[in-house]
Amino acid sequence: MTPQPARRNEQSRRAILTAALELMTEAGYSAVTIEAIAARAGVGKQTIYRWWRGKGAVILDALADNAPEVLALPDTGDLRADLRQVLRATVAEFADPRLSATTRAITIETLADDELADQVRDRLLRPQLNAVRTRLEAAREAGQVRTDAPLDQVVELLFGPLYHRWLLRNGPLTDDYADGIVDLTLAAITPPCTCLGI
Amino acid sequence: MTPQPARRNEQSRRAILTAALELMTEAGYSAVTIEAIAARAGVGKQTIYRWWRGKGAVILDALADNAPEVLALPDTGDLRADLRQVLRATVAEFADPRLSATTRAITIETLADDELADQVRDRLLRPQLNAVRTRLEAAREAGQVRTDAPLDQVVELLFGPLYHRWLLRNGPLTDDYADGIVDLTLAAITPPCTCLGI
DNA sequence: GCGTCAAGACGAGACGTTGCGTCTCGCTGT
DNA sequence: ACAGCGAGACGCAACGTCTCGTCTTGACGC
């Protein structure tokens, strides 16, 4: 009844994930169908349905499998520079049609499937957000960030506007914009002027 | 060839938009299909395809048609209180399964259709964002906001994190969270301490 | 004014296409 | 032998196009 992972064909698994990624970048999200994946991977449809819940789960695995994963941000000591680099990289990802297509695809699946959304959050997004959070904690240790700043919210203050603008096309998504968001965020979390200690 | 709007049947138009909204709130986004809309509205499918490009366009018109539209925020003089009210209202909208379903539906369509995304932005989102921007301008006049703050970015600093958390389910979406975002944003845009003038 | 008439929008639904998810084949590898 | 495998048939649902026959409407002639 339930499949036994021990007998799973690794070649088929990899062929499926590769086919899904290729279809997404070559022909766009609408071309990513179970039947197309199966055909390109040279695989029966049942083999896909045996191991995944549906298209969204395949896409998620395909992305998670090929994610190199930077687990830690660079820490040059200059918080502003480090954050700019991260946000500019995110902007570049949204600007690149190829990378943007994958983000778009997984976002669509996320909106339509709660269970999948949880996995996307835990496996793809949390690691990235946590890396930024860790960098912010280091900055707080260094006295560059006010101690009462809610760092989880600060992280979302950085990424939220980027996602918002990408989603809504509410203006150009440029390096300047990323820098502006970093500047605003830093203004929100730098220790208050003591009016005495200068 | 191209339909003549003068001869358009207003009753059918309204029946279609009403049916689309009802299906969305009663049975969820997956139940909103052209065929279902046509059946409930007592209308031929061709009548829909004659006037709309597809499901997304119908949903957009349905939402825009029934949008009450608050064109201006309250201005109590207390910027923090006014912003909190707006963001809390947005949080409530995301929390309500009924309202959230419509937002979710139009967002999915937006992700898959660039042309539609532009219309959603102009007809549904820009008015709301501009209302907040106008309130911020008034606050700037009153000296409550630093004059060099890029207000468009500030607006996205407010809404971006909310959309981000809703989209990614990256934590609870509560009034407290909305208040926290307002506090952070205000910290970013309040005039700098002059270290002299207190 | 008023009849009439053609253009075109309308409700209804048939049609071919596509993708879904399930199923049933032998075949293969362990 | 037993599962997983490739292949693909199957029924289902929705798509988008099309073709009916009916009804509405605006333009023209009287």
Nearest by CB to residue B153, choosing from A125, A152, A161, is A161
Say how far A51 CA is from C22 C1', in Å.
Answer: 15
Does A153 contact B at CB distance below 8 Å?
Answer: yes
Give percent of chain A with pLDDT exceeding 90.
82
pLDDT score of B98: 87
Sorting pLDDT into bands at 50, 70 and 90, what band is B1? Answer: low
The verdict on a CB contact (< 8 Å) between A193 and B189 is no
Q: Say whether pLDDT at A196 is over 90.
A: no
Q: Say whether pLDDT at B87 is over 80.
A: yes
Q: Is A147 in a helix, a strand, or coil?
A: coil
In chain A, what residues touch B166 (CB-CB under 8 Å)?
none
Residues B46-66: what's their mean pLDDT? 96
Does A9 contact B at CB distance below 8 Å?
Answer: no
pLDDT score of B124: 93
B83: CB partners within 8 A, 6+ apart: B132, B135, B158, B182, B185, B186
Say how far A148 CA is from C18 C1', in Å.
Answer: 56
Residues B108-130: what's their mean pLDDT? 93
- Identify whether the C-beta of residue B160 lies closer than 8 Å to the C-beta of residue A87: no
Give percent of chain B with pLDDT exceeding 90.
82
How far CA A62 is from CA of A23, A47, A57, A186, B84, in Å, comes to 11, 16, 9, 35, 40
Do A5-66 and A79-189 share a fold? no
> In the CATH scheme, what is the code of domain B79-189?
1.10.357.10
pLDDT digits (tens, 9 = 90+) for A133-190: 999 999 999 999 999 999 999 999 999 999 999 999 999 999 999 999 999 999 999 9
- Identify whether the C-beta of residue A73 lies closer than 8 Å to the C-beta of residue B80: no
Say how far A46 CA is from D10 C1', in Å.
Answer: 14
pLDDT digits (tens, 9 = 90+) for A11-64: 999 999 999 999 999 999 999 999 999 999 999 999 999 999 999 999 999 999
The verdict on a CB contact (< 8 Å) between A170 and B156 is yes
**Superfamily of domain B5-66, CATH level 4:** Homeodomain-like (1.10.10.60)
pLDDT digits (tens, 9 = 90+) for B15-24: 999 999 999 9
Sorting pLDDT into bands at 50, 70 and 90, what band is A198? Answer: very low
Residue B45 Cβ < 7 Å to strand C: yes
Which residue ranges make up each domain of chain A? 5-66, 79-189
pLDDT score of A195: 55
